[in-house]
Amino acid sequence: MKALTYTRYGAPDVVEISDLPRPEAGPGEVLIRVHASAVNTADWRLRAAAFPGIMAIPGRLMFGLTRPRNTRLGSEFAGIVEAVGAQVTRFSPGDRVYGMQPNGGASAEVIAVAEDSALAPMPQALGFDEAAALPFGGLCALVFLQDFAQLSEGQHVLILGASGGVGSYAVQIAKALGAEVTGVSGPDSQSFVTGLGADRVVNYRDTALADMPGAYDLVFDTVGAARPAEAFGLLKPGGLFLPLNFGMPEIGAALKNPLRDRKIRLEVNPDRAEDLVRLTALVEAGKLRPVIHTRFPLAEARAAHALVETRHRQGSVILTMPGV
């Protein structure tokens, strides 16, 4: 079977398409014929060893000091169950499913995943490419906004990177939670972010962070655009700064939380099946839609990685598998 691999860290040209043995489902595993996968920010960072901030050294220690321990790429997928292990009870052959393979390997024609991993039935109305676009950005936005920030109706949130792989879902989920949303994006994405439901959109090239309109209950930084001091200056008393990426400045700011009424919270979201079910409910209620920037065949995976690395896209970048 064809699968996306890499044997060294580096630019998109380290990405290869390899012929690998077809996996078999273990006792607690589900064998899935993948129809679509996605290339996201995490895939780019793993491929290039571009771990953010304080994760630079731990990232290398976890994933491989001089070269990747796991040579398989891809974390998001959607497809059809082909077989299940003897202990599997939640899925059957023929089920349409989507999910996360956070340790890599989702960009392949066939994958075996644990039944108790981030795996769930697809929303019924979605195609495979749309479902594959949801897990990474959708799970991150949902857990950060609803669980970590506990965003509620009537609160005002500023979303930095509102057109990206996480931000495009954060705008929709914040609106579904009843918040007033200001999105920050580049000049080419203004109408796109408005179309996602943002109440107002700010062009970061024209407006500095210090000049953003309004005072916010939450600043959700999906791209690492704001330093803690900048974010605190945008918050109302009692407000929260929630960055996806963090290093020593953010950790230092968190240590000072008891001394200020504007807080910072540092979290990493888990990938769980129950949260995928929550995403599905939002999709089926018409409150969330997949956002796809473009699609590439698996053979053009290097181009997909190069696009994601620019950090200038509107939504997800999808890889379609050959022969499906």
The tens digit of pLDDT for each residue in 169-201 reads: 999 999 999 999 999 999 999 999 999 999 999
Task: Compute CA distances 242 → 53, 138, 142, 227, 324, whole Å.
Answer: 15, 16, 13, 11, 40
- CA 39/CA 123 separation, integer angstroms: 20
Q: 287-324, pLDDT tens digit by residue? A: 999 999 999 999 999 999 999 998 778 889 999 999 77
Q: What is the pTM of this model?
A: 0.93
Task: Compute CA distances 229 → 52, 182, 284, whole Å.
Answer: 19, 19, 39
Q: What is the mean pLDDT of residues 263-271?
A: 94
Q: Which of 31-35, 69-73, 120-124, 145-149 has the lowest mean pLDDT?
A: 69-73
* CATH 3.40.50.720 at 136-264, yes or no: yes
Q: With 70 as the cut, is the pLDDT of residue 53 above it? A: no
Of 84, 74, 88, nearest in space to 116 by CA: 88
Polymer length in residues for the chain: 324
Residue in this structure with the two tokens 């999709």, named with its chain if needed = 283
CB atoms within 10 A of CB 108: 28
Q: Is the dihedral of CA 284, 285, 286, 289 positive or negative?
A: negative
Cα 309 to the center of its chain, rounded Å: 14
Q: What is the pLDDT of residue 301?
A: 96
CB atoms within 10 A of CB 74: 27
Q: What is the mean pLDDT of residues 46-52?
A: 82
Q: What is the pLDDT of residue 306?
A: 94
Query: Which is the CATH superfamily of the domain at 2-134+290-320?
Result: Medium-chain alcohol dehydrogenases, catalytic domain (3.90.180.10)
Q: With 90 as the cut, is the pLDDT of residue 57 above it? A: no
Q: What is the pLDDT of residue 64?
A: 79
Task: Compute CA distances 234 → 159, 168, 220, 221, 242, whole Å.
Answer: 12, 21, 11, 12, 12
Q: Is 213 left (phi over 0), alpha (psi -120 to 50) or beta?
A: beta
Mean pLDDT of the chain: 94
> What share of the chain in percent tops pLDDT 90?
83
Confidence band for 42, pLDDT divided at 50, 70 and 90: confident
Secondary structure class of 241 (helix, strand, coil): strand
Pair of tokens at residue 319? 């890889």
> ∠ at Cα 28 (27, 29), nearest 5°?
100
Q: What is the pLDDT of residue 56?
A: 67
* DSSP annotation of 143: I
List the alpha helices (DSSP H) in 98-156: 128-132, 135-142
Pair of tokens at residue 244? 């996806």
* DSSP annotation of 323: T
Secondary structure class of 186 (helix, strand, coil): coil
Q: 105-134, pLDDT tens digit by residue? A: 999 999 999 999 999 999 999 999 999 999
Q: With 70 as the cut, is the pLDDT of residue 54 above it? A: no
Q: Which of 54-63, 145-154, 181-190, 265-274 has the lowest mean pLDDT?
A: 54-63
Q: What is the pLDDT of residue 142?
A: 98
Q: 80-93, pLDDT tens digit by residue? A: 999 999 999 999 99
Per the CB < 8 A criterion, the answer to whether 168 and 196 are in contact is yes
Secondary structure class of 137 (helix, strand, coil): helix
**Sheet strands (E) in 125-179:** 156-160
Q: What is the pLDDT of residue 323?
A: 77
Residue-range domain boundaries for the chain: 2-134+290-320, 136-264
Per the CB < 8 A criterion, the answer to whether 281 and 288 are in contact is no
- 35: which residues sit within 8 A by CB, 6+ positions away? 78, 79, 80, 128, 129, 132, 320, 321, 324
- CA 229/CA 249 separation, integer angstroms: 9
Q: Which residue has the higher pLDDT, 248 or 290?
A: 290
Backbone phi, then psi, for 141, in 5-degree steps?
-65, -45
Confidence band for 60, pLDDT divided at 50, 70 and 90: confident
Task: Compute CA distances 81 → 11, 30, 72, 78, 249, whole Å.
Answer: 33, 7, 20, 10, 45
